[in-house]
Amino acid sequence: MHANMQIYHNPRCTKSRETLELIQDSGAKVEIVEYLKNPPTATELSAILDKLGMKAEDLIRKGETVYAEKYKGKTLTEKQWIQAMVENPILIERPIVVSGKKAVLGRPPENVKKLLR
């Protein structure tokens, strides 16, 4: 039923772990993508943003050191923000859950229930 579900997961993140647990408790099959080890390509990230209905800049974790050092106060294009996340995957807000043509951000983790119906 939900075999094509993926979670872009950071095992060190509480929200990411809670979201993964909600998916597993539902019985849905999920592929875990540890995006810090295997970052998405610019094409994959662009497709994920389309499914989320978000702009690249809205997916940036602005509390990260690398953001403060490299990007704070800068105006970047959509492609440049995507490239920034590809090069610095720590900047990608987490967790992202993708199911078919839809995706949600697991903040709060309960958001994933929209994909589990």
Domain residue ranges of the chain, discontinuous segments joined by +: 5-115
Distances (CA, A) of 46 to 3, 16, 42, 72, 108: 22, 21, 6, 21, 22
In this predicted structure, what is the pLDDT of residue 4?
75
Percent of the chain with pLDDT over 70: 97
pLDDT surpassing 60 at residue 1: no
The string of pLDDT tens digits covering residues 48-93 is 999 999 999 999 999 999 999 999 999 999 999 999 999 999 999 9
Q: Which residues are catalytic?
A: 13
What fold is seen in the domain 5-115?
A: Glutaredoxin (3.40.30)
Entry pTM: 0.94
Of 1-5, 39-43, 113-117, give the range with the top mean pLDDT: 39-43
